[in-house]
Structure 1
Amino acid sequence: MTEPVPTIFLVAAEPSGDAIGGRLMAALSRRLDGRVAFDGIGGERMAAAGLASRVPLSALSLFGVFEVLPQALRILRLVRDTAAAIVAARPAAVVTIDSSGFNFRLARQLRQQGYKGPLIHYVAPQLWAWWRPAKARSLRRWYDRVLALFPFEPEFFRGHGIECRFVGHPAIEEGFGRAPDPTFRARYGIAADAPVLAVLPGSRGSEIKRLLPIFAVAVAELGRRIPGLHVVLPTVPTVADRVEQAVAGWPLPVAIVRAPGDKPAAFAASDAALAASGTVTLELALSGTPFVVGYSVNAATAWLVRRKVRVRYATMVNLLMDRAIAPELLQDDCTPTALVSALLPLLTDPTARAAQRRDLATAIGLLGGGEEAPSERAAAAILELVSAPRS
């Protein structure tokens, strides 16, 4: 008698999680010779791997306590509905990917509704950066296993009684750091000798709304100071149209990069980058592209963060090196004048670029890893729980 095909229910609530989910689904399919079904919530990358998302990803890409509040009732309703759908579907396992604000509520609701199957969270929350012991205790109650991106994280979580497995950072698989694509500049209308700045204002609508106007003023000033400066702006489907409209009036050439496969080439072609805080900074580090971080959130959200944060830096490479190898201009410091001052040396001084590149390479070397791809290690850790007997 043929064994039934297992269903894995995956939930990604923003574009970075969608990219992780797409690679994870491909790895699960390889390990199970295609004998696996998928259900859940995701975006274009997960759709390409075979997922028919129950809701559009754009409905969930929010950030910040006070940015989320206006949508709270709708999100809580979606949490309850998703949990009920999972309980009814009885999947072989549930994998929540990053986005702790939505996914931890979903995990709690699942257990309250009686879900007894394996529950795994992929992308360990950075609780080591916050004074949040209660959250660690909650994770222990809800999740069977947490999958960590950084090698120092399992020790922290095990200290709180949470089963944690290091799998590595998925950015390693995205092609960042490969040899530059010799066709990229020509395909996007950029002269071979033009200075290039990558601009990365985030993947959430709230980030675009807050950061892009600040970045626009800084970029315009850089354009006045650096002849021939060209901007490349990789974006994601959830905000691409909005970004393209916003930059239409910029006073220098802007190439919008929508294809995910061209993002590593865009970084490789860039002399420097202006980036929102987040996963993209590690992608830039893997590419060896010097960068400056600019980030700002609602003032009330920032006040809450300052009360709870326990680390000196917001950017992983700075945390790894325990010093600011990449400038961080946050909240009141995130001004066009400050951004221009930090970016000018990286765009005009080869010595400054080389110095940051050396530091970025050292930081990446501290990440650890191995020969097996992170998504393959994650798939193995998930299937290990699927095949284990449940009490």
Structure 2
Amino acid sequence: MSKHLPRIAMVAGEASGDLLAGLLLDGMQHYWPGLPSQGIGGPQMARRGFEAWWPSDKLAVHGYSLEVLRRLGEIIQIRRQLRTRLLQDKPDVFIGVDAPDFNLGLERDLRAAGIKTVHFICPSIWAWRAKRVEKIRRAAHHVLCVFPFEPELLARHGIAATYVGHPLANVIPLEPDRLAARKALGLEPEDTVLAILPGSRGAEIKYITPAFLQAAALVRQVYPGLKLVLPAVPAWRATIEGMAHAAGLDGVLQVVTGQSHTVLAACDLTLIASGTATLEAALFKRPMVIAYRMQSLSWQLMQRKQLQPWVGLPNILCGEFVVPELIQGAATPQALAGAVLEWLDARQHAPERIAGLHQRFMALHHSLRRNTSALAADAIRQVLAA
């Protein structure tokens, strides 16, 4: 194996998949320096020498309705062209990183043609879309899992899997430096800081951000000295600033470009959209209010597929509502403000609640902290050797 450089094909969707795929490439290049890899990827993968035939943001869509329909034709065409290319010039292994709607069907066809396939990040069959497990069984020779309970669940369905830890648990320190983060953002050590993270997709900006900002304005009526910080991608900064003006937060809301980890390290608590960012907030050991709003048709379709009472990753992983969730119609500015105020009041009157949450999140952090690059690369090496 060491004398032969395997050829790797990969598909990563969106920025999060690009980051995960970059970590995979780090581990594989440790085994095979100069490893060739091609497919669909982003800048993190390109830094590791990945040859992107299409950029990963081509696969970035959100929801079930109009946005997806507008992009569906292009995405189907890309997948068709990629499948043809890979079947004509077969790689040693194909690795689908996240993007299950795109990757699982592609993996199934490649596996049927004799190409070894690996899927990185088990789709959330334990939370949504349980029927997807059959697709995984037909698609992947091996699944790399980021949560410790997933391999046993997959094994029940005859799917080989390896727990590799969650990459974020290594990126985020066990004890974040709050003072250094505040200094970087121009905040004072004694400030009370609310981080507002409504997401970065267009639909999230549209459906979530106004309610978050209106809620923050209500909270500041009770805590007028509260500092508000919102990390934004550059493309949405002007839109968010317009929404802040409409909410009466001119000169109050600090919008920063990127720096979401710095903002989470600096804050006392966060109002945050459901998604991977909530796991990041948990790893930063921050109290949070999780919320989500989307187009009504998308919500109706998603709700039918929900298998657990929780939506936010911290609650799913802890198996209980350790932080509040306000979803869709429940995510009114008044309700969001009320949930934030409960955490702010707890800082003064029930500090044991904050301390208990910190302990839960520290234990979660330790359980997810593994050498992900090395474990994932070793699993891929064994798939190739089989």
TM-score (norm 1): 0.87
Name the residue aligned to 2:291. Answer: 294
Name the residue aligned to 1:122. Answer: 120
Output the CA distance in 2 between the equivalents of 1:371 and 1:285: 13
C-alpha contact 1:97 1:122 (8 A) present in aligned 2: yes
Task: Report the Cα offset of residue 127 of structure 1.
Answer: 0.9
Find the partner of 1:305 among 295, 302, 308: 302
Tell me: CA distance 1:301–1:263, structure 2 relative to 1, closer, same or farther (3 Å).
Answer: closer
Over 4 Å off, 4+ runs: 351-354, 366-372
Task: Report the Cα offset of residue 377 of structure 1.
Answer: 1.0
Task: Report the Cα offset of residue 79 of structure 1.
Answer: 1.4
Which runs of no fewer than 5 residues in structure 2 stay unpaired? none
Name the residue aligned to 1:105. Answer: 105
Counterpart secondary structure, 2:282: helix
Tell me: CA distance 1:22–1:347, structure 2 relative to 1, closer, same or farther (3 Å).
Answer: farther
Query: Structure 1, residues 221-250: CA drift from partner, whole Å, max 9, x if none?
Result: 333432333333334xxxx12331122242
Alpha carbon RMSD of aligned pairs, Å?
2.4
Tell me: CA distance 1:31–1:310, structure 2 relative to 1, closer, same or farther (3 Å).
Answer: same
Query: Structure 1, residues 297-346: CA drift from partner, whole Å, max 9, x if none?
Result: 22222222222222110123212333211111001111111111111122
Counterpart secondary structure, 1:54: strand
Name the residue aligned to 2:238. Answer: 245
Name the residue aligned to 2:37. Answer: 38
Output the CA distance in 2 between the equivalents of 1:247 and 1:301: 23
Output the CA distance in 1 between the equivalents of 2:20 and 2:280: 13
Residue identity matched to 1:7: R
Output the CA distance in 1 between the equivalents of 2:175 and 2:276: 18
C-alpha contact 2:194 2:227 (8 A) present in aligned 1: yes
Task: Report the Cα offset of residue 107 of structure 1.
Answer: 2.1
Name the residue aligned to 2:159. Answer: 162
Residue identity matched to 2:298: T
Output the CA distance in 2 between the equivalents of 1:205 and 1:91: 35
Find the partner of 2:171 among 167, 170, 174: 174
Counterpart secondary structure, 1:65: coil
Structure 2 counterparts to residues 223-242 of structure 1, below 5 A: 223-235=220-232, 240-242=233-235
Name the residue aligned to 2:381. Answer: 383
Query: Structure 1, residues 103-128: CA drift from partner, whole Å, max 9, x if none?
Result: 2233234346x3x2221111101112
Output the CA distance in 1 between the equivalents of 2:362 and 2:185: 29
Query: Structure 1, residues 271-294: CA drift from partner, whole Å, max 9, x if none?
Result: 101111111111111111111111
Task: Report the Cα offset of residue 136 of structure 1.
Answer: 1.5
Name the residue aligned to 1:86. Answer: 86
Find the partner of 1:355 among 353, 363, 366: 353
C-alpha contact 1:15 1:203 (8 A) present in aligned 2: no
Tell me: CA distance 1:180–1:338, structure 2 relative to 1, closer, same or farther (3 Å).
Answer: same
Output the CA distance in 2 between the equivalents of 1:160 and 1:363: 30
Output the CA distance in 2 between the equivalents of 1:130 and 1:139: 14
Aligned length: 376
Counterpart secondary structure, 2:11: strand
Counterpart secondary structure, 2:8: strand
Structure 2 counterparts to residues 127-146 of structure 1, below 5 A: 127-130=125-128, 132-133=130-131, 135-146=132-143
C-alpha contact 2:108 2:140 (8 A) present in aligned 1: no
Query: Structure 1, residues 1-29: CA drift from partner, whole Å, max 9, x if none?
Result: x9453232221112221221122211222
Tell me: CA distance 1:306–1:200, structure 2 relative to 1, closer, same or farther (3 Å).
Answer: same
Task: Report the Cα offset of residue 31 of structure 1.
Answer: 2.8
Counterpart secondary structure, 1:179: coil
Counterpart secondary structure, 2:196: strand
Name the residue aligned to 2:180. Answer: 183
Counterpart secondary structure, 1:83: helix
Name the residue aligned to 1:346. Answer: 343
Output the CA distance in 2 between the equivalents of 1:228 and 1:210: 27
C-alpha contact 1:40 1:54 (8 A) present in aligned 2: yes
Residue identity matched to 2:72: A
Name the residue aligned to 1:152. Answer: 149
Name the residue aligned to 1:62. Answer: 61
Query: Structure 1, residues 120-155: CA drift from partner, whole Å, max 9, x if none?
Result: 11110111224633x212211111011111111112
Output the CA distance in 1 between the equivalents of 2:143 and 2:378: 13
Output the CA distance in 2 between the equivalents of 1:160 and 1:367: 28
Output the CA distance in 1 between the equivalents of 2:3 and 2:214: 60
Counterpart secondary structure, 2:86: helix
Tell me: CA distance 1:127–1:370, structure 2 relative to 1, closer, same or farther (3 Å).
Answer: closer
